[in-house]
């Protein structure tokens, strides 16, 4: 990609989540303490989901901030947006329209970051990845949790052989999405940030207030995801190794580290997390749903992935 002297021109699709304004502020406000240089949001396409209150009630507010505070131009279509920019953030809070939104961006051959969740179903996750792969278009999705300095410090802890990890955090539900796709995805990605790929099967215990998902990884490792729906709602990760254990410390993290990764991804066209690991994480979350449907019985990721692929 030939990067313009003034930096990459970025477009945003959605504008119905605080990420739209927060990411834009970090990229566009050169005086901000957490400013990330090298890219600027210059255009947006407004859309929202009428059946999600969180989306329909906030889209006008965020659209106004983008237009009035940051001078973002609004386009009449995604195709028009793609003609104005070098790269695109698909930022709709609802994962269901992400497939069609990403399809239009991929057709325009623009690198695309899709905000969490990548899609509204595992089947759509697979289709988005297929489309990007077939078109050789750079694609990435991810959570800010993975890039928190406290989590990076935890990953760097010298624990020798990693044997297991526990990740817990908010896991509010939305009726239109698989349970962990909506918000528990943050705790899931934090778990994968420290364990990596290799989960083979999961089992889940579900109550109204709490979820506990236990995953069996290759090599005898285990990963436990605890989803919380009533206050307090902390997020934290503990890792156990053969040389000891370490726990994530601190909080109040910024979106800036994630935005820096997005800008670097747009420039290098190389996602910082492999598609294989990302796909496994979404399969892990869908397998947790399947385990709940089976009364908590263990479910293999291979089985769930085969079903999503129609095999």
The domain ranges of the chain are: 8-115, 145-254+281-308
Q: Tell the burial category of 215 from Cβ atoms under 10 Å away from its Cβ (0-12, 13-18, 19+).
A: buried
Angle at the Cα of 308 from the Cα atoms of 304 and 311, rounded to 5 degrees: 90
The pLDDT assigned to 249 comes to 75
* Among the ranges given (53-62, 104-113, 118-127), the one the predictor scored with the smallest mean pLDDT: 53-62
CATH number of 145-254+281-308, picked from 3.40.50.300, 3.90.470.20, 3.30.360.10, 2.60.200.20: 3.30.360.10
The pLDDT assigned to 94 comes to 96
The answer, yes or no, to whether residue 2 has pLDDT greater than 60, is no
Q: For 30, phi and psi rounded to 5 degrees?
A: -70, -15
Arithmetic mean of pLDDT, 92-115: 98
Distance separating alpha carbons of residues 115 and 67, to the nearest angstrom: 21
The answer, yes or no, to whether residue 5 has pLDDT greater than 70, is no
Distance separating alpha carbons of residues 25 and 36, to the nearest angstrom: 9
The pLDDT assigned to 251 comes to 65
Span 8-115 CATH architecture: 3-Layer(aba) Sandwich (3.40)
The pLDDT assigned to 136 comes to 98
The pLDDT assigned to 144 comes to 95
Angle at the Cα of 159 from the Cα atoms of 156 and 164, rounded to 5 degrees: 100
How does pLDDT run across 237-271, given as a tens digit for each residue? 999 999 999 998 766 688 999 999 999 999 999 99
Q: Where residue 7 falls among pLDDT bands split at 50, 70, 90?
A: confident
* Closest of 116, 300, 273 to residue 215, by C-alpha: 300
Arithmetic mean of pLDDT, 113-135: 98
């Amino acid at each position: 990609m030939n990067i313009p002297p003034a930096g990459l021109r970025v477009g945003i699709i959605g504008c119905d989540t605080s990420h739209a304004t927060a990411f834009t502020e970090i990229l566009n406000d050169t005086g901000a303490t957490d400013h990330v240089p090298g890219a600027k949001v210059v255009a947006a396409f407004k859309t929202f989901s009428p059946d999600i209150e969180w989306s329909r009630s906030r889209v006008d507010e965020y659209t106004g901030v983008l237009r009035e505070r940051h001078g973002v131009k609004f386009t009449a279509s995604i195709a028009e947006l793609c003609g104005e920019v070098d790269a695109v953030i698909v930022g709709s809070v609802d994962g269901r329209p992400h497939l069609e939104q990403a399809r239009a961006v991929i057709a325009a051959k623009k690198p695309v970051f899709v905000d969490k969740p990548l899609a509204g179903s595992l089947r759509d996750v697979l289709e988005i990845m297929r489309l990007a792969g077939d078109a050789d278009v750079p694609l990435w999705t991810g959570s800010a949790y993975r890039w928190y300095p406290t989590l990076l410090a935890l990953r760097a802890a010298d624990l020798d052989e990693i044997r297991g990890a526990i990740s817990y955090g908010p896991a509010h539900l939305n009726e239109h999405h698989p349970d962990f796709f909506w918000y528990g995805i943050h705790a899931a990605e934090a778990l994968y940030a420290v364990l990596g790929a290799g989960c083979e099967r999961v089992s889940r215990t579900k109550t109204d207030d709490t979820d506990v998902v236990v995953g069996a990884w290759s090599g005898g490792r285990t990963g436990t995801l605890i989803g919380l729906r009533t206050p307090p709602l902390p997020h934290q990760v503990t890792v156990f190794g053969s040389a000891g254990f370490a726990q994530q410390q601190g909080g109040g993290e910024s979106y800036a580290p994630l935005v820096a990764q997005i800008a670097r991804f747009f420039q290098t066209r190389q996602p910082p997390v492999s598609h294989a690991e990302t796909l496994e994480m979404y399969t892990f979350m869908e397998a947790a749903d399947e385990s709940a449907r089976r009364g908590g019985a263990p479910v293999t990721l291979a089985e769930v992935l085969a079903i999503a692929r129609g095999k």
